[in-house]
Amino acid sequence: MEYRKEIDGLRAFAVLPVILFHAGFSWFAGGYIGVDVFFVISGYLITLIIIKDLEAGCFSIGKFYERRARRILPSLFFVMLCCIPFAYAWMMPPQFKDFSQAFVAVSFFASNVLFWSKEDYFAPSAEENPLLHTWSLAVEEQFYIFFPILLLVLWRFGKQPVFYVVLGFSCISLLLSEWGWRNYSSANFYLLPTRAWELGVGAMCAFYSYARVIKPSQGGSALGLALILYSVFVFDESYPFPSFYTLIPVLGTAFIILFCAKGTFVYRILSLKYVVWAGLLSYSTYLWHQPLMAFARIKILPHPHWITMLILCFSSIVLAYFSWRYIERPFRRKEGSWVDTRVKVFSTAAVASLAIFSFGFYGHVSNGIPERFRLSERQSSYISTAKASPMRNKCHASPRNVIEVEDTCIYNSGNATVAVLGDSHVVELAYSLGEQVKKAGVGVAHFSYSGCEPSYSKNDGSPCTEWTKKTANYIIKSNDYTHVIVSYRMALGIWGSARGVYPSFPMARDSEQVSSVIDSLHDMLSDIASSGKKVIFVDQSPELPRSIQQLVYLGRLQNGNVLGLSRDWWDEFNRFFENSKAIPELVHQVNVANVFCGNDVCYGGKDGVSFYFDDNHLSVEGARRVADHIISETELIDRER
């Protein structure tokens, strides 16, 4: 197959935005589209190889899988091996358990399935998972398993029918992704059925270019590069992916594949020596960047200084060169390699996969090897009390756990007179409030939806918005509720990131997005209050710089209490929220900062009791303190009962 160095140059334009995006540089807010560019390139190159072998009558499934194993596995396994000592030394048991599970998933080419299944609030921060990026490798590997067999079976019918079959499957996959982001966003992001169309576009480029001679096009190739750059610099995490939006970088990649050749301006850019060199290193660079950044966040700070992240970006490229030079290239060549036969390749891969599986399985069943750390009695008490509500899985709605408003959980017997409404931050509050008012004979209805910011006034058709409108209207029309307690993680709603708890960080959302959240909250609270109900808005609890478990294991204690963050920082956020005038005058606003903070510091726990079960969700005990504070400040129950 003729070597196209501009394709390697295109790989550079894919990998660099990805690592800069993961490093947190806001200019590259759409850098994640680099993965989509990779998918198209992979679909194109793999299909072109298969077509040529099928045409020559020499295609072999064994030969194909041998090529893939030589290309993918050596560097992947080497990077994973290098991660082990740092993970063992630095990761807390819950993190190490997740890390170990990723080892098991990689051995089965199923990382994407793992991360989809763990996409919940109990998982450690995604940014701190060294193997998170292997999800995209799993998507490609799964595609490589099925696609060659499909082509082999259908080839007897001719290239044109096969092309239309690929086109048909790709269209179905695209439509599925457009439906999926609205209904099952996590599955839509991670799983092959909604990603296959991107590889399919690359495959169709291979069929199209193989069947005819395509003339280079200045306009076509320039448009392709413009579409990719537009996606990198304009898109951000608010854009649903994959979806119809993904067509922009995907078609941009296709245009470059089809129309970029010698003589075009884009070819001159993509074929520059150092651009091609960066593209040759792209796979190894991609493998190295996530572990480096994850371990930096674990060891240094959850959000290291931008200079630190820039150094890590360069370090990724340096390490990539050495692994490309001494691992990737030697294993791809049969000549002079100790794995010079197909049997040796497959047997070595099997042994390595078994070793990876065994390590991961042990890390999982041992719960992250907690004996690596020696904890004091008080530290152990903090770990044991960092508990979520036992009703969280049953009563908390999400795209994967649909709960109709009529079927909501009610704590205590009889009719509920108190409704608790919000996102995942009210789960423990509803449960603990129910426990605290049980003796007074008050029933508490629990309405919560995962990751759902105030969206009452929006019209985006998302599951969150539809749930919010339906639930709020249900509460408004109901004659049962006398009190409605509302609370949200406003740091996420306003700032677009947990980093918003630190006002020194720039806002991740523009003013229009912030206004939309504020207006939705104000309108919903006003409408509920206008229905004659007493509405109580509970301010968000302070967030921690790390999970409570990490703070405890790292020994961030003062006088036996777990240190959280500066009181000044949290007060600054609260001032911003209060100045937004999101809370109508009819609504009773309850500030809970004094429940968790002293004059200078907000605590993650005191006297051996954790107030949180991660870095931002209150534990049952922390929520109990908020419930007591609400009861003391309001007329929620008759205290004389």
136-160 average pLDDT score: 94
Q: What is the DSSP letter of 400?
A: T
% of the chain surpassing 90 pLDDT: 71
Residues 283 and 405 in one domain: no
Whether residue 123 has pLDDT greater than 90: no
How far is residue 364's CA from residue 538's CA, in Å, rounded to a whole number?
38
Q: What are the pLDDT digits (tens) for 577-618?
A: 777 778 898 999 999 999 999 989 999 999 999 999 998 999
Under the banding of pLDDT at 50, 70 and 90, the label for residue 366 is: very high
Look at 100-109, 160-169, 571-580 and tell me which has the smallest mean pLDDT.
Answer: 571-580
What was the pLDDT predicted at 640?
42
Q: Is residue 604 part of a domain?
A: no
What was the pLDDT predicted at 125?
65
Look at 337 and 331; give whichever has higher pLDDT.
331
How far is residue 36's CA from residue 136's CA, in Å, rounded to a whole number?
9
Q: Is residue 560 part of a domain?
A: no
How far is residue 121's CA from residue 428's CA, in Å, rounded to a whole number?
13
How far is residue 356's CA from residue 18's CA, in Å, rounded to a whole number?
26
- In terms of Cα–Cα distance, which of 260, 242, 259 is closest to 200? 242
Whether residue 444 has pLDDT greater than 90: yes
What was the pLDDT predicted at 641?
44
Site of tokens 């960080």: 505
293-319 average pLDDT score: 89
What was the pLDDT predicted at 510?
63
Residues 341 and 428 in one domain: no
Give the residues across from 397 on adjacent strands.
449
How far is residue 362's CA from residue 622's CA, in Å, rounded to a whole number?
33
Number of Cβ within a 10 Å radius of residue 177: 25
Under the banding of pLDDT at 50, 70 and 90, the label for residue 501 is: very low
244-258 average pLDDT score: 97
> Angle CA(188)–CA(194)–CA(199) in degrees, nearest 5?
135
Q: pTM value? A: 0.85
% of the chain surpassing 70 pLDDT: 95
**Order of strands across the sheet with 588-590?**
409-411, 443-448, 416-422, 483-487, 534-538, 588-590
Contacts of 80 (CB under 8 A, 6+ apart): 103, 106, 131, 356
Q: Is residue 158 part of a domain?
A: yes
Q: Is residue 376 part of a domain?
A: no
What was the pLDDT predicted at 151?
95
Residues 308 and 441 in one domain: no
Q: Is residue 207 part of a domain?
A: yes
Residues 396 and 365 in one domain: no
Residues 105 and 232 in one domain: yes
Contact 225, 254 (CB under 8 A): no
Residues 24 and 125 in one domain: yes
Question: Read out DSSP for 331-375?
Answer: HH--TT-S--SHHHHHHHHHHHHHHHHHHHHHHHHTTS-GGGS--
476-497 average pLDDT score: 85
**C-alpha separations of 179 from 142, 183, 184, 194 in Å:** 22, 7, 8, 9
With residue 416 as reference, give the H or E element that holds it.
Answer: strand 416-422
Look at 254-263, 509-518, 544-553, 612-621 and tell me which has the smallest mean pLDDT.
Answer: 509-518
Instruction: Collapse the DSSP code of 422 into the 3-class scheme (helix H, G, I; strand E, B; otherwise coil) and give the result.
Output: strand
Q: Is residue 523 part of a domain?
A: yes
Under the banding of pLDDT at 50, 70 and 90, the label for residue 172 is: very high
- In terms of Cα–Cα distance, which of 232, 203, 208 is closest to 220? 208
Residues 362 and 465 in one domain: no
Counts of helices then strands in the chain (DSSP H, E): 27, 10
Residues 280 and 352 in one domain: yes
Residues 156 and 258 in one domain: yes
Residues 332 and 405 in one domain: no
The pair of structure tokens assigned to 262 is: 């010698």
CATH of the domain at 411: 3.40.50
Contact 318, 143 (CB under 8 A): no
119, HSE (Cβ side, Cα atoms, 13 Å): 22
What was the pLDDT predicted at 400?
78
**Dihedral of the CA atoms 57, 61, 67, 73 (nearest 10)?**
170
Residues 303 and 442 in one domain: no
Instruction: Collapse the DSSP code of 450 into the 3-class scheme (helix H, G, I; strand E, B; otherwise coil) and give the result.
Output: coil
Question: Read out DSSP for 492-535?
Answer: HHHHSSGGGGSTTSPPSS-HHHHHHHHHHHHHHHHHHHHTT-EE
Which of 69-83, 296-310, 323-337, 515-529 is predicted most confidently? Answer: 69-83
Give the residues across from 435 on adjacent strands.
none
**Which domain does 453 fall in, by range?**
389-542+568-593+619-633
How far is residue 591's CA from residue 538's CA, in Å, rounded to a whole number?
6
How far is residue 187's CA from residue 181's CA, in Å, rounded to a whole number?
8
98-125 average pLDDT score: 83
Site of tokens 């649903």: 240
38-48 average pLDDT score: 97
Q: How many domains does the chain have?
A: 2
Q: Is residue 599 part of a domain?
A: no
Look at 23-32, 231-240, 474-483, 487-496 and tell me which has the smallest mean pLDDT.
Answer: 487-496
Under the banding of pLDDT at 50, 70 and 90, the label for residue 336 is: low
How far is residue 364's CA from residue 290's CA, in Å, rounded to a whole number?
21
What was the pLDDT predicted at 65?
94
Under the banding of pLDDT at 50, 70 and 90, the label for residue 497 is: low
Instruction: Collapse the DSSP code of 297 into the 3-class scheme (helix H, G, I; strand E, B; otherwise coil) and give the result.
Output: helix
Under the banding of pLDDT at 50, 70 and 90, the label for residue 509 is: low
240-245 average pLDDT score: 92
How far is residue 338's CA from residue 331's CA, in Å, rounded to a whole number?
9
**C-alpha separations of 518 from 127, 509, 583, 591 in Å:** 28, 13, 9, 17
How far is residue 507's CA from residue 455's CA, in Å, rounded to a whole number?
19
Q: Is residue 204 part of a domain?
A: yes
What was the pLDDT predicted at 305?
82
Contact 147, 199 (CB under 8 A): yes
Across the chain, mean pLDDT equals 90
Residues 362 and 292 in one domain: yes
Which runs of E-coded beta strand occur in 221-351?
none
